[in-house]
Every structure is written in C-alpha cells, then in structure tokens.
Amino acid sequence: MAEFHRYCNLSLANSPGQLDDVFRIRYRVYCEEFGYEDPENHPHGLESDEFDAFSRHTLVTHAASGVPAGCARLVLADEERELPMERFCGAAIDDDLLRAFDGCRETICEFSRLGVDGAFRRKTGERVSRFGEIRGIDWSRLERHKFSSQLAISTILSGLALSEVLERTHCFAMMEPFLPRLLRRSGLVVHKAGDEIDYHGLRRPYYWETCEMVSGLVEELQEFYQHIRDAFAENEPVLAELNTTSAGLPDVRIGDALLAGAS
C-alpha cells in the first residue's frame, strides 16, 4: 500500500467543504448509481441524513486531480441515541448482544455509508463516468490500477482507525452475507450479529472488536493502518467535537457500494 500515498489523500472530513464532498459522493453512489435513495429528496445533489450529526466522516481524494473518490462514516451511539441499524433493521439484530452494552453504549458505533465513486471503479475500456471521460482524470495506467484496487480498503481502514482513536471499539455494520468472505482476504474478520433481512437486498448485521480486527490484518496492511491511525490521533481534539450536519433520511448499509469498490 506504500504507493497509495502517492496517488491519494485520505483525511478526516470536518470542514463544510469536505462534508459536501462526502455527501456528493454518497449522492452519486446511493441515489444515482444504486437507487437506494430518492434523488428528489436531495435536490442539491448532497445525500445526508439525521445520523450525520453524530458521526465522524473520512474522505479520500485523488491527489493529482483533487477529485473526491471515496468516503465512509462512523455513527456514534450513546444511552439515548440509537444506531441506524437499530432503527431500520432492529428485528434482525441479536438482542442479547446489544443488551450487553446497556450502560456502556458510548463504546459502540456503526460503520456505514461507505462509498466509492463509480468513476474510480471503471474497468479498462469503460470510458464514460459521471465526471465525463474517465481518461480526463490525468493518471497513469499503473496509478489507475493501484488507486482503484486500494481505494475501498483504505476507506475501511479509515473507519477502523477512527473507532480505535475514539475508543469506540465495539463496531457494528449491516452487510451483504457474502461480503465477510472478501474481507477475510485482508485479514479482516467479522462475526454474525443476527439474522438475514431483506433491506435493499439481503443483509445481515455483523459485529467486530477493533483490537481483533487490527491484529488480524495481513502484514502488508499493518503499516498502512498505523499510518492512518497516527494521523487521526493527531487530530483527536477535532474528533472530540460533533459534526453539526443533519438531514433526516434513512440510512443505507454497506454492501453493493463496498463490493463495487473492492472489485
């Protein structure tokens, strides 16, 4: 992953401009490409919801062009706030697992809204994208291969690093059931946290502990992860402040967007 830093910038999304970039990627992925959300509910081309107000966001941009390419968020729970999966897929979650965190919900979070823009997932020969000609993004063949193949894993690791820095070490996510098999290739092991449910297609709740995930990373990702984690740790005072954006629409799960980003 050493080459990745030459081709991209991975950062916390804290400024209004950075958050707009995050919401714009989400609009293209979840509204335009996969149709999970109604574009008419987001007339400005920015997909946001009420959970963004108590989330932390990460953003990946293509270094040479400055084009936003990928994003992810960590939704923070507390004794009063529920996670998106609790609201929309609560019947599928293992009640005993969730009840184990009663009184200490400040240690849990949900990883969601991972998105990789389709322009950076085009295969060779697929020239048209929402940025126009994909070749209009000035990158070499090597850069195209390295950036595209590593973009999805970088967003996943950014969420993992956030959970460690924020000490939200008990993580949940709704995923397509086959997705954990893909994650295991990178040493990322998740555990079933409930039953399958039909929500934007077949989904299942999963759970992991950050320390277990980090320790299981394949060797080539360990150094990359530590680089991300250390950079985020330097911004811990910023992370302590909640973002103030909100909109109020349902959450969408990790699944098609992640699979497409990893392909």
Phi, psi of 79 (to 5 degrees): -65, -20
* pLDDT reported for residue 240: 65
* pLDDT reported for residue 141: 56
The number of domains in the chain is 1
* pLDDT reported for residue 48: 95
What mean pLDDT is reported for the chain? 82
Question: What are the distances in angstroms from CA 72 to CA 79, 113, 123, 219, 254?
Answer: 24, 6, 23, 23, 10
Indicate if the pLDDT at residue 21 is higher than 60.
Answer: yes
User: Residue 160 carries which side chain, given as an amino acid letter?
Assistant: L
Tell me the pLDDT tens digit for each residue of 190-234.
999 999 999 988 999 999 999 999 999 999 899 989 999 999 998
Burial of 209 (0-12, 13-18, 19+ CB in 10 A): middle
Q: Count other Cβ atoms within 10 Å, centred on residue 128.
A: 11
Q: Is the pTM of this model over 0.85?
A: no
* pLDDT reported for residue 120: 78
The range of the structural domain enclosing residue 149 comes to 4-262
Tell me the pLDDT tens digit for each residue of 30-39.
999 888 899 9
**Percent residues over pLDDT 70 in the chain:** 77
Burial of 107 (0-12, 13-18, 19+ CB in 10 A): middle
CATH number at residue 127: 3.40.630.30
Tell me the pLDDT tens digit for each residue of 138-175.
555 555 556 666 788 889 999 999 999 999 999 999 99
Contact 178, 86 (CB under 8 A): no
Among 27-36, 77-86, 120-129, 253-262, name the one with the lowest average pLDDT.
253-262
Q: In the structure, what pLDDT confidence band is assigned to residue 56 with cuts at 50, 70 and 90?
A: very high
